[in-house]
Amino acid sequence: MKTVLVTGGAGFIGSNLVRHLIRAGYRVVNLDKLTYAGNLASLKDLEQDENHIFVQGDVCDGMLVLELLHRYDCDAVINLAAESHVDRSIGSPGMFVRTNVVGTFEMLEAAREYWHALSEERSQGFRFVHVSTDEVFGSLGDSGSFTESTPFQPNSPYSASKAASDHLVRSYHETFALPTITTHCSNNYGPYQFPEKLIPLMTLHAVEGKQLPVYGTGLNVRDWLHVEDHCSALRLILESGRIGDTYNIGGDAERSNLEVVHAICQTVDELCPSDQPSSKNIQYVRDRPGHDFRYSIDASKLSSELGWKPSVSFEQGIKDTVSWYLSNPDWVTSTREKGYHGQRLGTSANSMTDQLTQSTERELGSTVDKPFDGVVFEQLTQYTDDRGWLIELYRNDEIPIGNEPVMAYVSQTMPGVSRGPHEHVDQSDLFGFFGPGDFRLYLWDSREGSPTFGERFTVVVGESNPQSVIVPPGVVHAYKNISLRPGIVFNAPNRLYAGEGKKEAVDEIRHEDNQGTPYQLVDA
């Protein structure tokens, strides 16, 4: 039995692919961060399946990826983990760069190191399949289709981040001979899709009698691919695709957004009859920025070389999909528990707090989704010219009173190594995380009387998300280098540290790394 590491396997396409691979006789190691779009409820039927191994973790944690590859003796990687909603990329583009670009880089580095350690026979069979999107090609007019040789012309932060990841994958094959294959798919639909996307959103709104917001004129065209057809194509490419090549995967079902909404309304009206047709609630709303007009996939290469064709017609797929959402209200409820209730996204930039909230894990019941009172994050800006770059770490006139540093130092932390956890009685720390390397920062509120006492907050900071952070007294803190290379951290406390020939320290440090302490660096 072969073992495949699937990233993003608790998401929409990922959960369907995990199920498809297990049915086909594979063992699947499923790595998912469980952000808003990752949902363990999508894997509920696999809870007792011995061929499904779920690990909660981040693709930006290269050490974790490498460990999983070795621990489970993997034969292949299918990289699905990605931030994928265009609207969200307009409000929070940094998250897309981090997951889609930096995450792919860390995956490639881990796969390369693992692949080099394999025997010659096993290394020849290893594959790294990178799943991308047709959106990297840009927008089409009224005619024509994307082929594998169409130049990239991304028009949103999402598609730009995916194009960048595609270039990285190609470079690792050309430079290091890593056995990679890249796929570009059209718009997917089917069961377990997070309800921010068009088809589930319109389905649920139609059932509930809510307004059906359609961007612009509704004439933007997409090629619709049922997720089960996508999964069958990915397995075929994994097993028989040419190394170093790319394949387009399309559903041969071009429809305008308005046609899709009307098809959903018709199906809802058939399954849930009411006095008024659902289509009466269609409302045209302001178009989103950079909205591509038309996508169309030419999948003839996949058909001629590997014999694949889509098997689910759009009409049947829509009926099955709408019926699935109507039959699974508990799953729908589980997505709403993550804070999404059908609101429109992508019309404005989110604040830094919003970005931190969205990138925070919820793997423990005591984890909160925003920093505690007294913890201050600031985005660090890198100023670049032909001489190099400069980062301003702090200004005393902008630091909250009482936190002004009195000393500063820089430390290096090796890959996979953590520092802490510990806390200070009176001292605050001003950290600067700007690279090289990414770190997972852990904070626990140990201040009795605080409304967040005993709770935890985590966020990834560093090269992909440069931040300064002030950690006040009483907040236990630790950080771990999750990159595959040494990382640098700046620290400027407001109390002096003790040391040979130095003044005595004026603060008490409480180390919290004893066995059994609640302050554990748990990620997976």
In the chain, what are the domain boundaries?
Answer: 3-287+296-358, 376-513
Q: What is the model's pLDDT at position 509?
A: 63
Q: Has 292 been annotated as catalytic?
A: no
Name 420's Cβ contacts closer than 8 Å, sequence gap at least 6. 442, 476, 477, 478, 479, 512, 513
The pLDDT of 400-416, averaged and rounded, is 91
Q: What is the model's pLDDT at position 444?
A: 92
pLDDT at 97 over 60: yes
Crossing angle of the two packed helices 314-327 and 329-336, in degrees rounded to 10: 80
Lowest mean pLDDT among 53-62, 173-182, 192-201, 334-343: 334-343
Name 368's Cβ contacts closer than 8 Å, sequence gap at least 6. 360, 452, 455, 456, 457
Most confident stretch, 64-68, 192-196, 494-498, 510-514:
64-68
**Can you spell out the DSSP letters for 430-458?**
EEEE-SSSEEEEEEEE--TT-TTTT-EEE
User: Rg of the chain over CA atoms, in angstroms?
Assistant: 24
- Pair of tokens at residue 16: 């369907």
Q: What's 3-287+296-358's CATH class?
A: alpha beta
Cα separation of 54 and 9, whole Å? Answer: 9
- Pair of tokens at residue 13: 């396409």
Q: What's 376-513's CATH class?
A: mainly beta
pLDDT at 181 over 90: yes
For the chain, what is the largest distance between any 2 Cα atoms, rounded to a whole number of angstroms?
85
Crossing angle of the two packed helices 314-327 and 198-208, in degrees rounded to 10: 60
Q: Has 135 been annotated as catalytic?
A: yes
Q: Check 58, 61, 83, 135 and give the catalytic one.
A: 135
pLDDT at 464 over 80: yes
Lowest mean pLDDT among 46-50, 163-167, 283-287, 309-313: 283-287
> Residue 398's pLDDT band (boundaries 50, 70, 90)?
confident
Q: Check 36, 158, 247, 479 and give the catalytic one.
A: 158
Residue-averaged pLDDT of the chain: 88
Question: pTM for the complete prediction?
Answer: 0.71
Q: Check 32, 61, 106, 134 and give the catalytic one.
A: 134
303: closest CA among 357, 242, 250? 250
Q: Has 134 been annotated as catalytic?
A: yes
